[in-house]
Structure formats: structure tokens, C-alpha cells
Amino acid sequence: MSRILDLMPELEPDELQFVQQMLGDMPYAEMQQFANIYRARRKKPQEVLILIIVGFFLIAGLQRFYLGQIGMGLLYFFTGGLCFIGTILDLINYKRLTYEFNVKEAQTVKAMLRY
């Protein structure tokens, strides 16, 4: 685990555990390549939280657009965050939303590296 932690110290604990299990015994050079690509594609929970808060006051659904959920983003935009209920739920679950996005991105990056 220390190799992953050395390469990507910014990972959340759950995300770090998932990436460690996913990479397993990958060679260090390939692990460095994974870390470089994944770092550029992953989203930070703090950024999602900021977008949710902005959604309360300006444009609902920004967090969904940011996470690549265009359909939900449009739904939130046209319904005012589902009358603020969806926005409040996203505020409570922002770390889970970010984690799910990052898991998909990690799997995509790993698949890209396996020619």
C-alpha cells in the first residue's frame, strides 16, 4: 500500500483502499503511469461540495454536470434541484457521489493501460 500512498497521497481512505486492491501486483512503472492519468481524471470531494453549495444559490445541478451525469444535471437544472430535495441529498452524500465517479474513472484508466 505504501507504493500507492507514495504515488497518490491525496486519495481519500476508501478510494485508496479500492485503488490498492484494483492494482494488486502491477509493476511500479505501470503504476506510475496509472497514477499520472488517474490524478488528472479524478474529482475531489471538496470541489463537488462547493458546486452543491453554489447550486443552492445560483444554478442547481452543477455537481451532476461536473460528475458527468448530464441527464440528472438537466433534471436538477429545470426542477430547481428537484425542489431542493435532491440538492440536499447530494449535500449529504457528496463523498459517495465523488467516490462512485472516481471508481469508474479508475476502472477506465486501468482498462486503457491493459492494451
Nearest to 87 by CA among 46, 45, 52, 44: 52
In angstroms, the Cα distances linking 101 to 16, 31, 41, 91, 94 are 14, 20, 10, 16, 11
Give the pLDDT confidence of 20-51 residue by residue, as tens digits.
Answer: 998 888 888 899 999 999 999 999 999 999 99
Confidence of residue 1 (pLDDT cuts 50, 70, 90): low
C-alpha atoms less than 13 angstroms from C-alpha of 9 in its C-beta half-sphere:
1
Overall domain count for the chain: 1
pTM over 0.85: yes
Domain residue limits at 90:
2-113
